[in-house]
Amino acid sequence: MLSQDVLETWLDSRSALVFGTAAIALVAVAHRPIWRWSRGAVTIAHEGGHALVALLTGRRLSGIRLHSDTSGVTVSSGRTTGPGMVLTTMAGYVAPSLLGLGGALLVSHGWIRILLWVSIALLAGVLVLIRNPYGLLSVVATGGLIFCVSWFASVAVQAVFAHLFAWFLLFAGIRPIGELQGKRRRGRAPDSDADQLARLTGINGTAWVVLFALVAIIALVVGGRLLVLRPLG
């Protein structure tokens, strides 16, 4: 664990705070044993993205299930074709990156407490849609951690956590897209979001994977630039 003195030193050193948290977040995504655990947060963001866009496009939500293998499913009802269905299906793989970009924007302006409370509010919205025990445990644990940081932690801890939050989502938005294409190439994901989009639109599934990747990379570049170049507070 990082001591309070180390955290306060990081807060005093802009480059140490930004690049130190970026390095930790990158390890959490790149190191397979850690990724097995940290990927669950990405699944929450992924399924939450589906759910939010489903609501915004007028679809009726039946619920969200999160599984211990880090897979998940969001069930909604409504038209089986059309823009609402397309946008809902698109939302999952881009949601973590867009959340990371939003987090980077808030952090770059010093709005760290706002980031923490918005995150709790979004998780509360996901919580009411969860329909299985593991999903309930995952969302409560994630929300509980963020609440404890927002309510009990020092300014230094909050700053480090917020930077880790933003960097992690920015990096983590990319890896599942690569994993998706790897499964598709081996014929193991015939009903993936990309393949569902292909059936809905007639546009090749690989093109959708490329679009997901472009959104994730742009979010990483823009979000990373915000975190590196904008003054804190």
Query: What is the average per-residue pLDDT within 37-65?
Result: 95
CB 104 within 8 A of CB 85: no
* DSSP 8-state secondary structure symbol assigned to residue 74: E
Return the pLDDT at 9: 58
- The pLDDT tens digits of the residues spanning 61-76 come to 999 999 999 999 999 9
Domain that includes residue 148, residue range: 4-229
Whether the predicted pLDDT of 14 surpasses 80 = no
Query: What is the average per-residue pLDDT within 8-29?
Result: 82
Query: What is the average per-residue pLDDT within 167-184?
Result: 96
Query: What is the average per-residue pLDDT within 97-126?
Result: 96
Cβ-count burial 74-110 (b if 16+ within 10 Å, e if not): bebeeeeeeebbbebbbbbbbbbbbbbbbbbbbbbee
How many domains are contained in the chain? 1
- The pLDDT tens digits of the residues spanning 189-213 come to 889 999 999 999 999 999 999 999 9
Higher per-residue confidence, 187 vs 132: 132
What is the pLDDT of the chain when averaged over all its residues?
92
